[in-house]
């Protein structure tokens, strides 16, 4: 049984390079252009993926 998964062209698992995920959280302040800029900067820094979330006051828990 393989302990590896594939995301895009990258293998994740034993013996593979680290897969780095940048967390944007709410740092985009609901501004799509700011989110794009943060994603671009994360890509320039060499991350493999970006986690992004949006929220409104009525959806916060």
Q: Model pTM?
A: 0.69
Contact 12, 38 (CB under 8 A): no
What phi-psi label fits residue 38: left (phi over 0), alpha (psi between -120 and 50 degrees) or beta?
alpha
Report if residue 2 sits inside a domain: no
Q: What percent of the chain has pLDDT over 70?
A: 93
Report if residue 6 sits inside a domain: no
pLDDT-derived band at 50, boundaries 50, 70, 90: very high
Report if residue 37 sits inside a domain: yes
Report if residue 10 sits inside a domain: no
Report if residue 44 sits inside a domain: yes
d(CA 38, CA 28): 8
């Amino acid at each position: 049984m393989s302990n590896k998964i594939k995301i895009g062209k990258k293998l994740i698992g034993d013996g593979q390079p680290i897969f780095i995920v940048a967390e944007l959280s709410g740092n985009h302040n609901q501004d799509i252009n700011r989110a794009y800029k943060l994603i671009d900067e994360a890509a320039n820094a060499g991350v493999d993926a970006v986690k992004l979330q949006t929220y409104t006051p009525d959806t916060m828990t």
